[in-house]
Structure 1
Amino acid sequence: MAPTRQWLASRDFKVGEDLAEQGYNAEFPVIMVPGIVSTGLESWSTSSEARGFFRKRLWGTTTMIRAVLTDKDRWVKSLSLDTTTGLDPPGIKVRAAQGIDAASTFIPGYWIWAKIIENLACLNYDSNNLFLAAYDWRLSYYNLEERDNYFSLLKMRIEHWKQRQGKKTVLIGHSMGSEVVLYFLKWVEAEGPKYGNGGPKWVDEHIEAFINVAGTMFGVAKAMTAFLSGEMKDTVEINPAGSYVLERYFSRKERAQLFRSWAGSASMWIKGGNDIWGDGDHAPDDPDNCTLTHGRFFSFQEEHGDHVHLSGNLTANEASDWVLERTPVEFQRMVFTNYSYGLERDEKQLKKNDNDHTKWMNPLEVKLPVAPDMKIYCLYGYGKETERSYWYTQGPFEPDEDAPDAADPVCEADDCKYNNGSSLRGPLDLPLFEKHWIDTSVNLDTGAPKIKNGVKMGEGDGTVSLISLGSMCVEGWKHPRWNPAKIPVTVHEMLHQPETLDLRGGPKTADHIDVLGSTALNEAILKVASGRGHEVPNNFVSPIQKYVKRMKWD
C-alpha cells in the first residue's frame, strides 16, 4: 500500500478504538437520519422504458453518474415526481435504498456515514442496536408517511427497542435529516389517524437525545436559487467552457424544473424572514465595514450604456414571495400545503401548531416536545466560506411548458412590456415567466462581503450559513415559548482546519459533509451514545453568540 494511502487508512476506527480502551461501550440504540447527498435512491420501475435501471442507484454510486452522462432524459424522468400529487408519476417508481449501505458511501471511495459506523462498531454497535433510517428526500414530509409509512416504521422500531432492551434511542440527524427528526418529534406526539398518536409523553419516554449535526434549522440560501433558476455557487463557479457545456447539456431551466418536482427539498427554504436574516439596511452576520448588507438577499443591477446602477433589492421576506411568484402554480400549491417559513411568537398559536403538520419542520413555529429528560446536541462546523446572498439579473419572458389558459391569448397589461420598456408583446403561449439567473459578472474580492460570480459569501460550513446552523441552538431554544420543558441544549462548534494531504480534509475538517469523518464529531457522537453525553462541552469558535443578539426574537 502506498505510504500516503496507508497513513490515511490508519485513521479508520481510531476514535472508537481509543474510547473503547477507556471503557466506553454501547448504551443507547442509535438511529441515523441522513441528508440529501447521503441517501441513495434506486429504481423499482418495471416499464420497458425504465427496466434498464431496475434496482440500480439513480442517486448515489457511479451508476448515477453514468446515467446522467449517457441517458440524461431517462434519468431526469425517473427522478422527477408528479408536480400535482408530489408522488410517483405513472409508470415510475423510485425508492430510498435501505440498510446501512444506503448512506455509508456516496460513490466508491467517497465515504459519508462510514466513519461514524466504524467507530460505533468499536463500542459494540451492530445491526441490533444501530439503524440508518433512509428516506426518499424528494417527497414532502407528509407524503413520506402517506406513501412509505416512514414515520410509523421509525416509531415502531424505537418502541421495539424500548420494549426489548429497555433503553431509549439516540436520534442523529445530519443536514436535512435534522429537519426530518424535528418533524418526527412533532408527528409522533400529535393525535389523529394521520399522525403518530404517541401522545405528549412519548418523546420523553423513548428519546434519550437528538444529535443535530450541521442541521439546516433555518434553511439553506441556495435552496432559493435552485428553485428559481436551477443554480447555486457550484454551478456558477465553473469556468466559462465548462459552464457552456453544462448549459447546453443540462440547462438552468431543466435543472429548475427537476428541483421543483422535489417537494422534500423545499423544506430547506430559508425560515424566519427579516427578523432572522436581516432587512435592507443590515443583517446580523454582516461583516465589519460592510459595503453591501446580506439583508439584501437578492440584489439586481441594470446596464444603461456604459453605466451599471442598482435597480432593486429584496430582503428575505420579499425574496420568498418573489421566488414563489416565478414558479409554476403546482409548485406554489405544494409549498403552501406542506410547509411554513415564518416566525411565531404567540403561545396560543404555537399550541395550535402542534396539530398543523405544515409547521413541524420549522423550529420557529413549533414548540419542542415536553421532554425534560431528553437532551439536544448541536454539532456543526465553522470557518468555510458559504454562499449567503446573491446578485441576480433578469432577461426576456419565455414560454412555460404549461398550456395557455385561452385561445390566442394576448397580454395587454402595463407589465407585459419587455425590460427595456419597448413594444408590447403580441400573441403569447401563456403562461410566461421572466428568465432570471445569477449575475456572474459581479465580483468583488476585496469588499465586505466578498462577491464571487454573483454570489455574496458569508460564514458557515461551506453549505449552510452560520445563522441556520447555530441560531436556534444558541438562542431560540432558550426561550420557553419554543422550549417549554427547558430541554438542555449543548452547542459544540468545530473549526474548519483541513489538511492538505487529505482530499477529505482530515480529522479536523468541518466541511458540511466531511465533518461526518472528523475526530471531534465522532468523539461527541460516541460519548452521547455510550451514556456520557455530559462530557461533550459547549464550544464556540464563531461569532454566533454575537449574531443572535442582533436578531428579533421577541
Structure 2
Amino acid sequence: MPRLLLPSLPALLLLRPNVVVVVFAGQDFTGDYSKLSGIIIPGFASTQLRAWSFLDCPFSPLDFNPLDLVWLDTTKLLSAVNCWLKCMLLEPYNQTDNPECKSRPDSGLSAITELDPGYITGPLSSVWKEWIKWCIEFGIEANAIIAVPYDWRLSPSKLEERDLYFHKLKLTFETALKLRGGPSLVFAHSLGNNVFRYFLEWLKLEIPPKHYNQWLDEHIHAYFAVGAPLLGATETVKAVLSGLTFGLPVSEGTARLMVNSFASSLWMLPVSKHCRGDSVYWKHFSGGRRKSYKTYDCDEKEFQGNFSGWPTNIVNIEVPSTPGFYAYPSVTDVVETNLSSAECGLSTQLSFSAREISDGTFFKAIEHYDPDSKLLLHQLQKSYHGDPVLNPLTPWDRPPIKNIFCIYGTELKTEVGYYFAPSGKPYPDNWIITDVIYEVEGSLFSRSGNLVEGNPGAASGDETVPYHSLSWCKNWLGPKVNITRAPQAEHDGSDVQVELNVEHTYDEDIIPNMTRSPRVKYITYYEDSETIPGKRTAVWELDKDFFSRNTFTNRLVSYDYI
C-alpha cells in the first residue's frame, strides 16, 4: 500500500550508516498524532557519564572536577588513564564508587547524542544525534523527544536501588501523557531493550494487576526494539574473559578489568531458549517452606539437542590437567571422559553451551584457573538469578504492548563461539583466544576459514549479536504470517515480493520462499496475517545492516510501496 504521510511524530529509525527509514507507526491510532511522544532508551555504553567528585591526577595537567566528562573523554583517557579508571571502575562486589571518584549519568538528549563532543571526536562518537536532527527537520516539537539515560554499568536492581531509575521512567511516561495528551513510542537500542523488559516486570509490582494493562495501553502506543540481544550476545563472554576494547586506546587486560567491575556486563550473557527462570517470590508465597530454589527449569529439548539451540557451543576452553584439578567437583564430571589426557599431564578441553554459561556452570568450572570467576559467580547470583523482579537471563515473552516492531540487521559476519587457552601471562591477561567461530550467511566458519559443523541459522547476525538472538522475536508472531521483501534502495514497487498466510510454528524460523539478487540489499517484513485484537507485531530484517555497536547517520530512504 502507499506510504502514509501523517502530520505527526514519525518513528525515524536510522538503521545503518547513511540510511534513515521513516516509519509512521501506529496506523491504528485513533487520536491526534501530534500528541505522541518518543522516549529513547539507549544501549550499553551509549550514555555520557560525568564526574561527581574532585580528583587530582598526579603527573597530568588534567584533573577531574564535578561535571567533567568521564565517558567518554578520550583526552583524559590518553593522558591520565589511571585517574580515568578510578572514575569509571566500580567496586565489583557491591557496585559502589571508587572512594576517590564517582561518576553519574548525564541527563537529557545531549547525554546520548555524542559521547565525546568535539570537531574530530564528535562524529566518531555520534549515537542518536542524526536521529534527533531528522526529528527536528520533520518539525517534531522539542518536548516530544525524551531521552532516559541510565548508568549502563549497573545491574537492573542496582539501577533502581541507587538511582530510582524505574520510578523515574514511570514518571517520564506519565509526564509525557500529561504534557502532550497522548501515549509514547518507545525506541530501545541494544541493552536498552533489556532495560525496558525489566521495567515492564518491575511495573507489575508497582501497579495493581487489574490496572497493569490499562496503564500500558494509556502510556505506551508502540515499542521499537532495535538490535535487541533477546537471547544475549556471545561477545559478552569474550569481554569478561579476555577483554573487549570497543576501539578505545586501552589494552584488552585493562578493558577486562573495567568490564568485570560492571555488573551490567553479565546482563547480555547468552541464554538457552529452552530454560525459564523460577521466580524468587515463590519463596515468599510458599511461606518459606520451599527448601530448594532452582535457577532454571529447562524442557526436554535442552538435553535432547546440542548447544542450547545456538549454532555451536559458546565456549571451548583448555585447562591444565594438574593434580589439584580433581579437587574441584564442578569440573570433575566433565573431564572424566578425558582421563587419558589428564593422566599424561596434557591440557583438557571443556565445552560449554549457552545454558552452562548463564547458569554459572562455566564460571564455576574455571574458578581454580581464573581470579575473576568467583566475582562473576557472585554478580550472577546476586544481580540476576536472585533478582526478586525478574531473572533477566531467560528468554523473552512478547511484551504486552499494543504495537511491537522488532528491527535488526542480518547477513554480516558475526562471532558465535570461541576457543580459549591459558596465555602464560598473569591476570588479567591470563587467557588468549586461539580460534573464533563465525556465522556467515547460513554457515559456520573458523577464523582460518574452515567450515565448522554445527546448527547454523538461515542467516547471520548484525556483526555483534548473532542471528539466533536477534530473530527470537519472530516467536512473537502468530501462526500465520505475511512476508514482504523489498529493496532497501528507492524503488518503483516492481521488485517487491509478497507471501501471504505463511505457516509459522513456534520456535522455528520463518524462511521466505523468495528470490534474492546478490547485488541488492533487501528489507524483509514479517507481520501477523490475522490481527490479534489490540495487538500488532512486526519483524524487520535488513540485509547488511548493523545496530549494536555502530553509529546512526543520515540519508533518507523512502519506501513508496511496502
Measured against the shorter chain, the TM-score band is: 0.5 to 0.7
Aligned to 2:36: 28
The residue that corresponds to 1:358 in the other structure is 390
Confirm or deny that 1:269 pairs with 2:266: no
Q: 2:463 is matched with which residue?
A: 462
Structure 2: distance between partners of 1:212 and 1:445: 23
Instruction: Give the whole-Å Cα distance in 1 for the aligned partners of 2:439 and 2:220.
Output: 48
1:512–1:113 CA distance, 2 compared to 1 (3 A):
same
Partners of 1:13 and 1:115 within 8 A in 2? no
Match of 2:420 among 380, 385, 392: 392
1:436 CA drift (Å): 2.7
SS at match of 1:145: helix
2:548 equivalent in structure 1: 512
Q: Does structure 1 conserve the Cα–Cα contact (< 8 Å) formed by 2:105 and 2:151?
A: yes
Matched, 1:324 2:363: yes
* Structure-2 change in CA distance of 1:263 and 1:310 (3 Å): closer
Deviations 1:45-79 (A, max 9, x none): 1244598222222223xx2x222222211111210
- For 1:190 and 1:296, the matched residues in 2 are separated by 36
Query: In the superposition, relative to structure 1, how do residues 151 and 212 fare at CA in structure 2: closer, same or farther (>3 Å)?
Result: same
Q: State the match for 1:230 in structure 2.
A: 243
Contact 1:43 1:56 (C-alpha < 8 Å) held by counterparts: yes
- Of all paired residues, the percent bearing the same amino acid is 21
1:444 Cα deviation from its structure 2 partner = 12
* Structure 2 unaligned blocks of 5 or more: 1-16, 26-31, 116-120, 276-297, 321-340, 480-504, 508-531
Instruction: Identify which of 307, 313, 317 aligns with 2:351.
Output: 313
Q: 1:41 Cα deviation (Å)?
A: 1.2
Matched, 1:139 2:154: yes
Q: Which residue of 2 aligns with 1:541?
A: none
| CA 329–512 in structure 1, closer or farther in 2 if over 3 Å, else same | closer
Aligned equivalent of 2:52: 44
**Count of residue pairs brought into register by the alignment:** 420
Aligned equivalents of 1:447 and 1:204: distance in 2?
39
The alpha carbon displacement at 1:264 in A equals 1.6
C-alpha contact 1:191 1:198 (8 A) present in aligned 2: no
Aligned twin of 1:71: 80
Q: Higher helix fraction: Structure 1 or Structure 2?
A: 1
Cα distance in 2 for residues equivalent to 1:365 and 1:25 = 30
* Matching residue's letter, 2:466: S
* Distance across 2 between alignment mates of 1:13 and 1:299: 38
> Match of 1:271, as an amino acid?
V
Distance 1:443 1:147, change over 3 A: closer
User: Which residue does 2:384 correspond to in 1?
Assistant: 339
- Alpha-carbon offset, residue 493 of structure 1: 1.1
CA contact (8 A) 1:161 1:167 kept: yes
Structure 1 residue 176: Cα displacement: 0.5
- Report what 1:439 is aligned to: 434
- Distance, in Å, in 2 between the alignment partners of 1:387 and 1:442 is 6
Question: What's the CA shift for 1:450?
Answer: 2.0
Q: Deviations over 1:228-274 (max 9, x none)?
A: 22248x78xx9xxxxxxx8xx6352x332221111123211112267
- Relative distance call for 1:68 and 1:18 in structure 2 (3 A) is same
Amino acid at match of 2:40: M
SS in 2 for 1:490: strand
Matched residue, 1:451: 446
Q: Does 1:216 align with 2:229?
A: yes
The TM-score with structure 1 as length reference comes to 0.64
The one-letter code sitting in structure 1 at the alignment partner of 2:87 is S
CA distance in 2 between partners of 1:221 and 1:263 (Å): 17
Matched, 1:383 2:378: no
Q: What amino acid sits opposite 1:324 in the alignment?
A: F
Matching of residue 299 in structure 1 with residue 316 in structure 2: yes
CA distance in 2, matches of 1:536, 1:187: 40
Q: Which deviations, in whole Å up to 9, do the C-alpha atoms of 1:290-349 show, x marking residues without a partner?
A: xxxx42222346999xxx9983422222344354223343432222122249xxxxxxxx
Change (3 A) 1:362 1:76: same
**Offset at residue 435 of structure 1 (A):** 3.5
Q: Distance in 2 between matches of 1:25 and 1:283?
A: 46
- The TM-score, its normalising length taken from structure 2, stands at 0.63
Q: Distance in 2 between matches of 1:358 and 1:463?
A: 25
- Select which of 53, 60, 64 maps to 2:64: 53
Write the distance in 2 (CA, Å) between the matches of 1:40 and 1:188.
Answer: 26
Q: Give the superposition deviation at 1:519.
A: 5.8
Q: Secondary structure at the match of 2:235?
A: helix
- 1:529-552, Cα deviation, whole Å (9 max, x unpaired): xxxxxx996xxxxxxxxxxxxxxx
Q: C-alpha displacement at 1:33, in angstroms?
A: 0.7
Partner SS, residue 170 of structure 1: strand
DSSP 3-state at the match of 2:101: coil
Which structure has more strand as a fraction of its residues? Answer: 2
> Aligned to 1:317, what secondary structure does the other structure show?
helix
Determine if contact 2:39/2:184 at 8 Å carries over to the other structure.
yes
Distance 1:56 1:99, change over 3 A: same
Preserved CA contact (<8 Å) 1:379 1:491: yes
What corresponds to 1:405 in structure 2? none
| 1:88-139 superposed Cα distances (whole Å, 9 cap, x missing partner) | 2323220112221211123311322122112222333233111111111001
How far apart, in 2, do the equivalents of 1:91 and 1:146 lie?
22
Amino acid paired to 2:313: R
CA distance in structure 2 between the partners assigned to 1:283 and 1:337 by the alignment: 26
| Structure 1 residue 442: Cα displacement | 9.5
Partner of 1:495: 543
1:205 is aligned to 218
Q: Which residue of 2 aligns with 1:155?
A: 170
Residues 189 and 200 of structure 1 are in contact (CA less than 8 Å); yes or no, is this contact kept in structure 2? Answer: no
Pair 1:166-2:181 in alignment? yes
Change (3 A) 1:101 1:198: farther
Cα distance change on mapping 1:461 and 1:518 into 2, 3 Å? farther
For 2:361 and 2:433, the matched residues in 1 are separated by 15
Q: Name the CA distance, whole Å, in 1 between partners of 2:306 and 2:541.
A: 25
1:92 to 90, 94, 101: 101
1:280 to 1:28, Cα distance in 2 relative to 1, 3 A: same
Alpha-carbon separation, structure 2, partners of 1:58 and 1:120: 28
CA separation of 1:364 and 1:319: change in aligned 2, threshold 3 A? closer
Output the CA distance in 1 between the equivalents of 2:471 and 2:214: 27
Rounded to whole Å, the distance in 2 between the matches of 1:523 and 1:96 is 35
What is the Cα deviation at residue 376 of structure 1? 0.8
In structure 1, distance between residues paired with 2:77 and 2:303:
40
